[in-house]
Structure 1
Amino acid sequence: MISAPQTPLPTSPDALRDLVLSLLQQQEEQEAERTRIIAQQQAAIALRDETIARLESTIAKLQRWRFGRRSEKLSPDQISLWEEALDTEIAAMESLLETVLEDSAAVTAGRAEGAAADAQTVTVPARPVRRHPGRMAIPAHLPRVEVRHDPKTCTCAQCGGPLETVGEEISEKLDYIPGRFQVIRHIRPKLACRPCGTLESPALPAQVIDKGLPTARLVAHVMTAKHVDHLPLYRQETQYQRAGVPISRATLCSWLGQGEYWISLLAEACKRALLEGKILHADETPLPVLNPGSSKTDKAYLWVYRSQADAPHPVVVFDYAPDRKGIHAQHFLGDWQGILQTDDYGGYDALYRKEQIIEAGCWAHVRRHFYDVEQRGPSPVAQKALAWIVKLYAIEAEIKESLPDQKVAARQQRAGPLLEAFHAWLTETQMQVAPKSGIAKAIGYALKRWKALTLYLEEGQLSIDNNPVERALRGVAIGRKNFLFVGNDAGGERAASFYSIIETCKLNGIEPFAYLCDVLEKLPTWPNKKLHELLPWNWKKSALA
């Protein structure tokens, strides 16, 4: 209220009129100022409410995502895992070094063959000293299975004389049958030619670990237990001790590091088969890797690529990378052309800028954004959006078994009108919600990628979402909680190879342990040009034939 003037009122009518007009103008100015202040306060309150809502949504999402401790303090079990990873890397590097030294020695011997007659002495380079102790003794109480190797001929290869048995060479391999151990005894007769003094014996079959203790089946068991059953090697060591066979963790690391070399050959063949397809799914997941000397881990990534959901021979290939830069996807795909279905991660944008790769969107990610808003609190807008998406998925469930052409026709006839109405509703609703709110972000995500999201209407072999490749990451997520990290980049690459084979086996209905037992037995002597015959989908056909 305007206070009354303290000075006497003028007696002149004109002066009184001027005073009243002045007071009215002053009152209007005060009302305008009050309105401006109220508007500022309301804007500040709206901004505060929007910020609070956004933070509450983020906190709720993080609380749902949080499953374990964030501390990097190592428990005794974690220290065991740390040593295990390092031992595996050492064993793998020692195996590689031995191979290089043997190849180098063979080349040197070939070059020196002509000069050997003139040389009086030959200097042999000393082999590197093995860091681990001698081979473990196989327990005597284990049952023995004898495998006898008969000679191909009973005549001497040197002079043609008859061969006589003068003894036996016995080498024992530790084998594993699920639930119990056994020992495979390879018995080879020692044959002698008395006229010329030649000694012969049949050769041992090629082994997955040359001159090693385990059979292919035992190596397959160790690998399956770690990567399929998610048992770190220190847990396996405890299990074997309970079974009466004390196999040290260092020995298990050595077997694992050498056995995964053969798996990498198959993984590379799977990659070549994968890139023959025209529709691929892609995603990525973190994989902790040791940072030597810092007592911490760095965040590396496994990039995963999967063939289309209805592919006759489904393939999953994992690719290890030290970071999440999009250049890794470019290197993996190379000159590949087709449709790539991903989430909204910007690392794939460089691929989509090329005309050879077409982007396909994921409706599961759209649904997830609206679902997060609804989980924070009742939201009529989010509920209505989710109802639209439920209708789209209901159509997909009904036409799941249809042929691609039939899917295209059904999608365009039934889902097309729904999507047009949904797009119009989203565009209208976007103008009515707070610009920085969670629901605005969910709507913006859908509208921004609308072209990619509706591509499945035109391609019958394309899925409505990227869930097929995300399901392939479940095994990695479970294993990551058990063995926690890989030893280094090389270990990450080998883990990627193994996950590629395991997940591809699962997609093709192959039991991983049975598959690994067979291929690890065959790979040491298998010709490279026939490697495709051992891939999971071809192996299944041969097994059923």
Structure 2
Amino acid sequence: MDEPRFQDDSLSSDMESCHRLIASLQAQITQQASELSLQEKLVEEQAHSVLELQAASDKLQERNTELTLRVEQLLQQLFGRKSERRVNGEGQLFLDLGEEATLEVVHALEEAVLEAEQIVQDAEQEKQRRGAKRLYRDDRKFPEHLPRTEKTVDLPEEQREGSTLIGYDEVESLHCKRSELYVPVTRYAKYAYPADKTQGADQERGIVSPERPTGLVEGNRLDASIGVIVVAWKYFFHLPFYRQQDLFAGSRWTPSRSTLQNLETNVEFALRPLADWLRGYLKTDRCIGCDETGVALITPRNLPDLSGHPRRDRITEVLGEAIEKGKPSVKAHFWGYYASRLPVVAFDFTVSRHRDGPDDVLSDYEGNLVGDCWSGFQKIDVRSDSRMTFAACWAHARRKIDECRSAFPLQVAKLESLIRMLYDVEDQNKTLDDTARRSRRQSLSRHALDQIDEYLGSEAMQSASVLPKSNLGIAAADVRRHWAALNRFTEDASIPIDNNDCEQLMKRVATGRKNWLFRGSLASGERGSNLMTIIGSAIRKELDVHAYLEDVLRRALAGETDWASLAPHAWKAEHPEAIRTYDSEERRQAADRKRVRRARRRRLKK
């Protein structure tokens, strides 16, 4: 009986061991499952961390690329070439016209090549002719109208003994003398008439003197010529008042800066109607270019009197906010307007870069407005009730594309070559009338535009090669967004392909800003815009600015109000001696060089 009991005890012990083993295994499995769960969570957290690090790395890489491009742009602005022209087609592709080119386009290309060959041949012949003429010409003499003094240098008497005088060698030497101030004294006679006894004993004797002309300042202590010099020095030669003081001091007269400012104020007041007339005349053109640039305006202590000012609300808002926040200055803006066909320019001054500036100046204008793709120019046709039509500038679009050259050399070279085709067509259209120009734009320029449109939608410009947020992607998107405005020049022959003429005009403001640095008041900015309107129009007609200003100012002070006859283009016809012929000659030579350069490039494409 004992043996079965022993077997039962043994079996029970084995079962308990098995249970303990199973429990231990279960505990180990549970522990391992828990550890595995923790490891999975750790792996998941690490995966999230890796993704976050990857996203941060991508953002940093994108930021690094953006900053690198920005550094390249700044270096280009500081040390790079200012001209946008590519020397000898550097980086450009020679393009064919495509298989879809029409016979008219092919024929036009053949004509362009033949014309280019003729231009180059004529240029070579002219170069040889000038070279031959230079070999045999006499020494250039100074202008005959310059005053001359003669001085004879002879040998000592002891060396002249036994010799015969056979003539003289004349040597002309140009000298310069510092400008001199002089003070004419005008004596006005005074006559006294005896009292008329019949009118009573208290009748005073009458004193009569000749009528005195209207002077620039009270008492005519400073002549109009001084005011003309002050204005011409500041807005033509870009000399601030403190430098003008030094120049006048060299002539032994040292005016205060307030005196110089008062002279500028009086000149502007006398010629303000002429500036207003020029602005009105500019708006009779079919097409106007517009551009702007910033300038610092010193914040006044108190708001100026703006009673009756057409922009009172905007000025009050901007200057009031600056005064409240204690800003030392605000960024004001000079606006330039360039007539496409008429010989006139205009300037305007605003306290901010707001579209109410052009809207106010062009409030009664009907025609085309050319400019960059600034948001204020967009929808101007809607704001003006279809009085104006906006045309975008191809030079501005090309500039944005050219900034992407380092990152996308092939795409940029292709696009710039296509854009160059547009400019080649315009170069050939310069001598044509409006009908022929519009016809060639509709055929040749339209064909080049179609190729640009096709390439912008090609695989080379898709996201696989050009990301939408890259600089080229953004530039291409801008071209797409303003495509209708960029094509508008093909619809009207009066619209130029770009706004370069107006942008060149704004260089006068930029050069002046580097010298006089800021505008001291709202009135100073508005005075500057009026004077630059008059001087800029005179420069466009290649006039001697000093001679023009002095004659016009004296006639205005004398009471003349026929501003049409005082405008630069009308005044030029009456005063051919005041035309700067050297300036027109330099412009002609520069245009000829550009024409030959483009002809040589077109000839290489045949």
Work out whether the TM-score is over 0.5.
yes
Report the equivalent of 1:341: 370
Match of 1:372 among 403, 406, 418: 403
Report the equivalent of 1:88: none
Does residue 381 of the first structure (1) align with residue 411 of the second (2)?
Answer: yes
One-letter amino acid of the counterpart of residue 485, structure 2: A
- Which whole-Å CA distance do the structure 2 matches of 1:64 and 1:209 have between them? 49
- Which whole-Å CA distance do the structure 2 matches of 1:511 and 1:329 have between them? 30
- Alignment map for 1:145-156 (pairs within 5 Å): none
CA distance 1:486–1:212, shift in 2 (3 Å): farther
Root-mean-square deviation (CA, aligned residues, Å) is 2.8
* 1:372-412 deviation digits (Å, cap 9, x = unpaired): 111x4562111211111122212212222222222112222
Report the equivalent of 1:284: 292
SS of the aligned residue for 2:184 comes to strand
CA distance 1:483–1:472, shift in 2 (3 Å): same
User: Do the aligned residues in 2 keep the contact of 1:208 with 1:523 (CA within 8 Å)?
Assistant: no
Cα offset for 1:39?
Answer: 9.6
Match of 1:263 among 260, 271, 294: 271
* 1:448-487 deviation digits (Å, cap 9, x = unpaired): 1111111111211211101111111111101101111111
- Alignment map for 1:406-485 (pairs within 5 Å): 406-428=436-458, 429-432=460-463, 433-485=466-518
Does residue 214 of the first structure (1) align with residue 214 of the second (2)?
Answer: no
User: Do the aligned residues in 2 keep the contact of 1:270 with 1:535 (CA within 8 Å)?
Assistant: yes
- Which whole-Å CA distance do the structure 1 matches of 2:436 and 2:51 have between them? 57
- Which whole-Å CA distance do the structure 1 matches of 2:298 and 2:53 have between them? 52
User: Do the aligned residues in 2 keep the contact of 1:189 with 1:201 (CA within 8 Å)?
Assistant: yes
- Which whole-Å CA distance do the structure 2 matches of 1:407 and 1:526 have between them? 45
One-letter amino acid of the counterpart of residue 51, structure 1: R
- Which whole-Å CA distance do the structure 2 matches of 1:331 and 1:233 have between them? 31
- Which whole-Å CA distance do the structure 1 matches of 2:445 and 2:296 have between them? 42
Does residue 363 of the first structure (1) align with residue 371 of the second (2)?
Answer: no
Match of 1:250 among 246, 254, 258: 258
Cα offset for 1:360?
Answer: 0.3
* TM-score, with length taken from structure 2: 0.62
Greater fraction of residues in helix? 2
Cα offset for 1:50?
Answer: 3.7
Report the equivalent of 2:243: 235
- Which whole-Å CA distance do the structure 2 matches of 1:382 and 1:332 have between them? 38
Report the equivalent of 2:575: 543
Cα offset for 1:292?
Answer: 3.6
- Which whole-Å CA distance do the structure 2 matches of 1:353 and 1:247 have between them? 52
- Structure with bigger gyration radius: 2
Cα offset for 1:58?
Answer: 2.3
- Which whole-Å CA distance do the structure 1 matches of 2:361 and 2:568 have between them? 22
SS of the aligned residue for 1:306 comes to strand
Greater fraction of residues in strand? 1
- Which whole-Å CA distance do the structure 1 matches of 2:327 and 2:447 have between them? 57
CA distance 1:246–1:39, shift in 2 (3 Å): closer
User: Do the aligned residues in 1 keep the contact of 2:282 with 2:346 (CA within 8 Å)?
Assistant: yes
Does residue 323 of the first structure (1) align with residue 352 of the second (2)?
Answer: yes
SS of the aligned residue for 2:404 comes to helix
Give the % identical residues: 27
- Which whole-Å CA distance do the structure 1 matches of 2:339 and 2:451 have between them? 32
User: Do the aligned residues in 1 keep the contact of 2:418 with 2:451 (CA within 8 Å)?
Assistant: no
- Which whole-Å CA distance do the structure 1 matches of 2:56 and 2:560 have between them? 73
Does residue 396 of the first structure (1) align with residue 423 of the second (2)?
Answer: no
- Alignment map for 1:12-161 (pairs within 5 Å): 48-65=60-77
One-letter amino acid of the counterpart of residue 412, structure 1: Q
Match of 1:513 among 546, 559, 573: 546
SS of the aligned residue for 2:266 comes to helix
Where do 5+ consecutive residues of structure 1 fail to align? 1-33, 68-176
What count of residue pairs does the alignment treat as equivalent?
400
- Which whole-Å CA distance do the structure 2 matches of 1:195 and 1:338 have between them? 68
SS of the aligned residue for 1:468 comes to helix
- Which whole-Å CA distance do the structure 1 matches of 2:567 and 2:248 have between them? 31
- Which whole-Å CA distance do the structure 2 matches of 1:280 and 1:351 have between them? 14
CA distance 1:350–1:208, shift in 2 (3 Å): farther
* 1:163-210 deviation digits (Å, cap 9, x = unpaired): xxxxxxxxxxxxxx9822122222333334468654322112222223
One-letter amino acid of the counterpart of residue 231, structure 2: M
- Which whole-Å CA distance do the structure 2 matches of 1:471 and 1:328 have between them? 20
SS of the aligned residue for 1:272 comes to helix
